[in-house]
A and B are shown apart, each in its own frame.
Chain A
Amino acid sequence: MKMTGAQILCEGLVKEGVEVIFGLPGGAVIPLYDTLLQYPQLRHILVRHEQGAAHAADGYARATGKVGICFATSGPGATNLVTGIANAFLDSVPVVAVTGQVASHFIGKDAFQETDITGITLPVTKHNYLVLDVNSLAGVVKQAFHLARTGRPGPVLIDIPRDVFLEQTEFNYPDTVDLPGYKPTLQGHPTQIKKVARAISEAKRPLLIAGRGVTISGAYAELKWLAETAQIPVVTTLLGVGCFPESHILNYGMVGMHGTVYANMAIDHADLVMAVGMRFDDRVTSKISAFAPHAHIVHIDIDPAEIGKNVRVDVPIVGDVRMVLQEINKLVTTHRHVGWLEELETWRKEHPMLGIRDTDGLLPQYVIRQIYETTRGEAIIATGVGQHQMWAAQHYYYDKPNALLSSGGLGTMGFGLPAAMGAKIGCPDKPVWCIDGDGSFQMTIQELATIVQEQAAVKIAIINNGYLGMVRQWQELFYKQRYVATPISCPDFVKIAESYCFPGLRVQHKEEVVPAIEQAMAHPGPFLIDFKVDPEENVYPMVPPGAALAEILEDPKKKVKPISDSTSLPVSNI
């Protein structure tokens, strides 16, 4: 049967299981949007800026595990996607972006709204296509989804000229892909797997560092079995948060710049570090030469280009984390590391993360802890980037994967609101909170209109301190308090909510926090709370930039008035 290019694309999307598209139309994609009328099963969410479409597709993909889709027109539409595509690239999120292009005979002539988007996105996509022949379109769509979701997932962009949307050809959707240059290694090498099993049996102070690869491959049960059987404590990267339950007694929290003291001490003292589905980002390792100085390092990752990129590795294993752990687990026997765990527990007691200072002021950590308590830890949390992001990672507790949606690699301010929207549209039955900063929130604030138009019941908690807080913190600690360009004004966010026709509240005192969160939860639609928090609170612990993990700083204010928090985490037994 003959179909137009636009129909072929839509058929492909349906065959790939797509249900939701985030996008914004323009001249080059009008034929595509016109064709959407014939495909009511493809729900189109009209964003207010294409960056929001890319982030929403990203948030949707993280929350659901499916591929996220965004559409944009040529030129500015396409370039507006770029930040969101780069964000998905660095965090290995499966996204397929479809951009319209000027008609093929205009390409290369600086036509109206023409940009070379495949050239622009070349370094920030897993792969991209410019489709000049409608006959190749079905195959390209098939390949794009295959590339986005297999191996190390990532964004794939398909650029389609206006005339290709209109041309007709026979539609045949291929069953298989033929990519001679793309064959991800899934099974780990048996010799390497034996080496790991031996290293585990010989280790006295083993440690697992779990990253997003555990979530992507769904290796939760395998990781838990390994940790419990060989009694190996687990720490996670920011993107690994939740891939191993935070209430588990073997979970020692997040590593890196704002990780827990005990997680970073564990890396410093371990004799075996097993890095699972993570890539030794500099926010994790800090000073490379001082990273895990006593450890034999095992690195399991599906991307061979990550092996040895940042850190010397003793036993590399390229493969799917779940498959590799299954093979390792077959060779692992029960071990006990009582002395090592006692050491870790001592650090945990001496440097607790749980404590929040008891002050009359409204502390951001307190707000986030109350969101955790009131939502009983069941919410999906999307964040922007900065101080609030770190507090949301530290003071909300995640027992499930895909519950913290945060821009780890690119550090994209403005990710929170559109990502929360994508997550809520993908998971309508789950509570979704956007914990955002007043700076981050103003970067993609226009998506409030989308949230209202779609009646996506996203709850928004703005941690409003009147600063670009993380930069201000660095200026305070490392630039002698010269606060250049960090004090930031904001509109009246409650009035903003009102003008977008949904309710909002301002909270300035501790006793108002819980009632406000309860009111937000009870409201059926979107709800905004503007928390006016202590403006100069800092994120601790903190490894200063360039320092070793062991040189982590703790909150100096805590030492003045140490008050332990009454809250304690439920701890499951192993």
Chain B
Amino acid sequence: MPTSKHILLVLVEDKPGVLNRMASVFRRRGFNIQSVNVLETIETEDAGRPGLTRVAIVVAGSASILGQVRQQLEKIVDVVRVSDITARDIE
């Protein structure tokens, strides 16, 4: 299967353990995470609830399996949204 490099931008709730939950999905499907960057938290207006954090994950793998990984990431309750920004220009 042809592999290619992908950059996933994951919007998550800023809670302990969320990185572990995401990493577990990659580990289970045998993906080696090439780099991971946790960006600063976006505070919400409601002080009582956690803010949101963006996590940028770079992985190489087949597009079809990565598509499944992406869907499994989206199943994580603390994950709000997953975008594949590989094709996007970095601002």
A interface with B by C-beta (< 8 Å): 118-119, 122-123, 126-127, 130, 147, 178-182, 303-305, 307-309
Quick one: closest B residue to A128, CB to CB?
A: B17
Q: Say yes or no for B5: interface residue by CB 8 A criterion.
A: no
Asked whether, in the complex, the Cβ of A181 is within 8 Å of the Cβ of B68, the reply is: no
Can you sample 22 A-B contacts with CB below 8 Å?
A122-B21, A122-B24, A123-B28, A178-B49, A179-B77, A180-B52, A180-B80, A181-B12, A181-B76, A181-B78, A181-B79, A181-B80, A181-B81, A182-B77, A304-B71, A304-B75, A305-B68, A305-B71, A307-B71, A308-B67, A308-B68, A309-B68
Within 8 A of A (CB), among B1-60: 12-13, 17, 20-21, 24, 28, 49, 52
Which residues of A are found within 8 Å of B49, using beta-carbon distances? Answer: 178
Quick one: closest B residue to A136, CB to CB?
A: B48
Q: Say yes or no for B84: interface residue by CB 8 A criterion.
A: no
B42–chain A nearest beta-carbon distance, Å: 12
Q: Say yes or no for B62: interface residue by CB 8 A criterion.
A: no
B interface with A by C-beta (< 8 Å): 12-13, 17, 20-21, 24, 28, 49, 52, 67-68, 71-72, 74-81
6 additional contacts (CB under 8 A) given A181-B77, A303-B75? A122-B20, A126-B77, A180-B13, A305-B68, A305-B71, A305-B72
Which residues of A are found within 8 Å of B71, using beta-carbon distances? Answer: 304-305, 307
Which residues of A are found within 8 Å of B28, using beta-carbon distances? Answer: 123
Q: Tell me the bound Cα distance from A355 to B71 in angstroms.
A: 45
Which residues of B are found within 8 Å of A123, using beta-carbon distances? Answer: 24, 28
Quick one: closest B residue to A126, CB to CB?
A: B77
Which residues of A are found within 8 Å of B72, using beta-carbon distances? Answer: 305
Q: Tell me the bound Cα distance from A180 to B78 in angstroms.
A: 8
- Which of A118, A147, A180 meets B17, CB within 8 Å? A118
Quick one: closest B residue to A180, CB to CB?
A: B80
Q: Tell me the bound Cα distance from A181 to B22 in angstroms.
A: 13
Which residues of B are found within 8 Å of A305, using beta-carbon distances? Answer: 68, 71-72, 74-75
A317–chain B nearest beta-carbon distance, Å: 15
Asked whether, in the complex, the Cβ of A147 is within 8 Å of the Cβ of B68, the reply is: no
Asked whether, in the complex, the Cβ of A127 is within 8 Å of the Cβ of B77, the reply is: yes
A130, A178, A305 interface centre (most CB from chain B within 10 Å): A305
Which residues of B are found within 8 Å of A181, using beta-carbon distances? Answer: 12-13, 76-81
A123, A147, A180, A182 interface centre (most CB from chain B within 10 Å): A180
